[in-house]
Chains A and B, each alone.
Chain A
Amino acid sequence: MKDISVKDLENTAVRMRMKVVDMIYKAQSGHPGGSLSAADFVTACYFKYMNIDPKNPRWPDRDRMVLSKGHVCPIQYACLAGTGFFPEAVLDTLRKEDSMLQGHPSMNKCPGIDISTGSLGQGLACAAGMALAGKLDKKDYKVFCVVGDGEAQEGEIWEAANTAHKYQLDNLITFVDFNNLQIDGTCDEVMPNGNLGEKFRAFGWEVIEIDGHNMEEIVAVLNKCYASKNGKPKCIYAHTIKGKGVSFMENQCGWHGAAPNQEQYEQAMAELEAQLNN
Chain B
Amino acid sequence: MSELKKIATRDGFGKEIVELGKENPDLLVIDTDIGKSCQTGSFRKELPNQHLNVGIAEQNGAGLAAGLATCGKVPFVVTYAVFGSLRMCEMIRQEICYPNLNVKIACSHGGVTPANDGASHQAIEDIGVLRTIPNMTVIMPADYNSTRKLVRQAANTYGPMFLRFTRDAVPQIYGEDVEFTIGKAHQIQDGRDIALIANGDTVRLAIEAAKTLAKDGISARVLDMHTIKPLDVEAVTSAVNEIGKIITIEDHNILNGLGSAVCEVAAELGKGIVKRVGIQDQFGQSAPYERLLEMNGITVEHIVKLAKELQ
B134 CB, min distance to chain A CBs, angstroms: 12
Contacts of A106 in B (CB 8 A): 98-99
Contacts of B55 in A (CB 8 A): 162
Residue of B nearest to A118 (CB): B94
One of A117, A127, A133, A156 near B59 (C-beta < 8 A): A156
Contacts of A127 in B (CB 8 A): 67
Identify which of residues 61-87 in chain B touch chain A, using a CB-to-CB cut-off of 8 Å: 62-73, 75
Interface string of A64-104 (1 = CB under 8 A from B): 00100000000000000000000000000000000000000
Identify which of residues 104-140 in chain A touch chain B, using a CB-to-CB cut-off of 8 Å: 106-108, 114-119, 122-134, 136-137
Interface string of B20-54 (1 = CB under 8 A from A): 00000000100000000000000000000100101
Q: Judge whether B168 is part of the interface by a CB distance below 8 angstroms.
A: no
**What separation, in Å, do the CA atoms of A127 and B98 have in the docked complex?**
17
Take A129-B63, A132-B67, A163-B60 as given contacts and tell me if A116 and B94 are in contact as well, using a CB distance cutoff of 8 Å: yes
> Which range contains the number of A residues in contact with the other chain?
20 to 34
One of A116, A129, A134 near B64 (C-beta < 8 A): A129
Residue of B nearest to A161 (CB): B60
Contacts of B145 in A (CB 8 A): none
- Tell whether, in the assembled complex, residue B71 and residue A159 are in contact, meaning their CB atoms are under 8 Å apart: no
Take A116-B95, A156-B91, A162-B55 as given contacts and tell me if A122 and B63 are in contact as well, using a CB distance cutoff of 8 Å: yes
Residue of B nearest to A167 (CB): B52
A110 CB, min distance to chain B CBs, angstroms: 11
- Tell whether, in the assembled complex, residue A129 and residue B94 are in contact, meaning their CB atoms are under 8 Å apart: no
- Tell whether, in the assembled complex, residue B59 and residue A132 are in contact, meaning their CB atoms are under 8 Å apart: no
Contacts of A155 in B (CB 8 A): 59
**What separation, in Å, do the CA atoms of A124 and B95 have in the docked complex?**
11
Q: Judge whether B100 is part of the interface by a CB distance below 8 angstroms.
A: yes
Interface string of A32-61 (1 = CB under 8 A from B): 000000000000000000000000000010
Q: Judge whether A147 is part of the interface by a CB distance below 8 angstroms.
A: no
Take A116-B98, A159-B54 as given contacts and tell me if A60 and B90 are in contact as well, using a CB distance cutoff of 8 Å: no
**What separation, in Å, do the CA atoms of A134 and B71 have in the docked complex?**
8
Contacts of B68 in A (CB 8 A): 129-130, 132-133
- Tell whether, in the assembled complex, residue B59 and residue A116 are in contact, meaning their CB atoms are under 8 Å apart: no
A interface majority secondary structure: helix
One of B54, B57, B66, B90 near A126 (C-beta < 8 A): B66
Contacts of B64 in A (CB 8 A): 125-126, 128-129, 132, 160, 163
**What separation, in Å, do the CA atoms of A126 and B54 have in the docked complex?**
13
Take A156-B59, A160-B64 as given contacts and tell me if A122 and B72 are in contact as well, using a CB distance cutoff of 8 Å: no
Residue of A nearest to B25 (CB): A136
**What separation, in Å, do the CA atoms of A157 and B102 have in the docked complex?**
23
- Tell whether, in the assembled complex, residue A116 and residue B71 are in contact, meaning their CB atoms are under 8 Å apart: no
**What separation, in Å, do the CA atoms of A167 and B52 have in the docked complex?**
9
Contacts of A118 in B (CB 8 A): 94
**What separation, in Å, do the CA atoms of A155 and B70 have in the docked complex?**
23
Contacts of B91 in A (CB 8 A): 122, 125, 156
One of B28, B63, B67, B73 near A156 (C-beta < 8 A): B63
Contacts of A129 in B (CB 8 A): 63-71, 75
- Tell whether, in the assembled complex, residue B94 and residue A160 are in contact, meaning their CB atoms are under 8 Å apart: no
Q: Which residues of B contact A (CB under 8 A)?
A: 28, 49, 52, 54-55, 57, 59-60, 62-73, 75, 90-91, 94-95, 98-100
Q: Which residues of A contact B (CB under 8 A)?
A: 60, 66, 106-108, 114-119, 122-134, 136-137, 155-156, 159-160, 162-163, 167
Q: Please name the 7 residue pairs, one residue from A and one from B, whose CB atoms are nearest each other, closest first.
A: A129-B67, A125-B63, A133-B71, A159-B60, A159-B57, A126-B67, A129-B64
27 contacts between A and B (CB under 8 A): A107-B70, A115-B66, A115-B70, A116-B94, A119-B94, A122-B63, A122-B90, A122-B91, A123-B63, A125-B60, A125-B63, A125-B91, A125-B95, A126-B63, A126-B67, A128-B64, A129-B64, A129-B69, A130-B71, A132-B52, A132-B64, A155-B59, A156-B91, A159-B54, A159-B60, A160-B64, A163-B60
